[in-house]
């Protein structure tokens, strides 16, 4: 089973408590560890988390700096946990705008865990689905693939997620009812589950609730 999550509501969680927005991100990072380890424990095959969209660069500079610092801290601190829990780590998204030291740390974590056989954890960082599709089209053009050979499989194999299965379940926190330019191609037949709970308050019980709801749904993939 592949679960994709839009981790929304960190800033709102903090504002409602009279805290700076970065405190919402700090607490949200703790949920990333908790939910990731729980997914590994219960046998989820793939977990893809929307961490930073390509549109998030419009946010205040101080908040962006905190997000980058927190990402670097996460990559440093989580390496032992990734190994302990047999988690394979990867990142999708464009690298432009990401500091070089963070890119190096991402590559280090990716290489360190590439042989792990448990949960596949993917972080979407500086990610936008439309940009991903544009990049896929550019690759196809550069490879001079014959037009008659271009089909859905061809495009899928040129996406950032070419080595991943498509998500079965999309979870969005904080009650918003939109995809926000997230995995537009891959989510075509995913089941969607939304909670009003902001990401810093999301927990194992809510994840179980989403999974149980998913199991009750009938997936026809366009058929009857």
Q: What distance separates the 2 farthest-apart alpha carbons in the chain? A: 58
Pure H helices in the chain: 10-16, 21-42, 61-84, 100-113, 129-142, 152-156, 204-216
> Is 135 an active-site residue?
no
- The radius of gyration of the chain's CA atoms, rounded to the nearest angstrom, is 18
Q: Residue 97 carries which DSSP code? A: T
**Rounded to whole angstroms, how far apart are CA atoms 213 and 191?**
10
Distance of CA 124 to CAs 71, 142, 144, 153, Å? 12, 25, 28, 22
> Is 208 an active-site residue?
no
Selecting among 8, 10, 126, 168, the annotated active-site residue is 8
Cα first-last separation, the chain: 22
Residues constituting the chain? 224
Selecting among 10, 56, 126, 148, the annotated active-site residue is 56
Nearest C-alpha neighbor of 170 from the set 1, 20, 3: 3
The three-class DSSP label of residue 169 is strand
Contact 161, 140 (CB under 8 A): no
Which are the catalytic amino acids?
A: 8, 56
């Amino acid at each position: 089973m592949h679960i994709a999550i839009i981790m929304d509501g960190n800033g709102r969680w903090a504002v409602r408590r009279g805290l700076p927005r970065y405190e919402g991100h700090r607490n949200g990072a703790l949920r990333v560890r908790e939910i990731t380890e729980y997914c590994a424990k219960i046998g989820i095959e793939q977990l893809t988390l929307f961490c930073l969209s390509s549109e998030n660069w419009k946010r205040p500079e101080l908040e962006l700096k905190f997000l980058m610092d927190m990402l670097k801290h996460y990559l440093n601190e989580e390496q032992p946990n990734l190994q302990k829990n047999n988690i394979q780590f990867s990142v999708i998204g464009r690298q432009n705008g990401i500091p070089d030291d963070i890119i190096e740390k991402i590559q280090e974590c990716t290489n360190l865990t590439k042989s792990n056989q448990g949960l596949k954890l993917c972080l979407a960082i500086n990610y936008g689905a439309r940009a991903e599709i544009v990049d896929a089209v550019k690759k196809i053009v550069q490879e001079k693939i014959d037009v008659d050979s271009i089909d859905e499989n061809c495009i899928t194999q040129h996406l950032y997620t070419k080595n991943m299965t498509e998500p079965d379940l999309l979870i969005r926190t904080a009650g918003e009812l939109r995809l926000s330019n997230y995995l537009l191609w891959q989510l075509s037949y995913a089941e969607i589950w939304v909670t009003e709970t902001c990401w810093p308050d999301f927990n194992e019980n809510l994840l179980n609730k989403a999974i149980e709801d998913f199991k009750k749904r009938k997936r026809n993939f366009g058929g009857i």
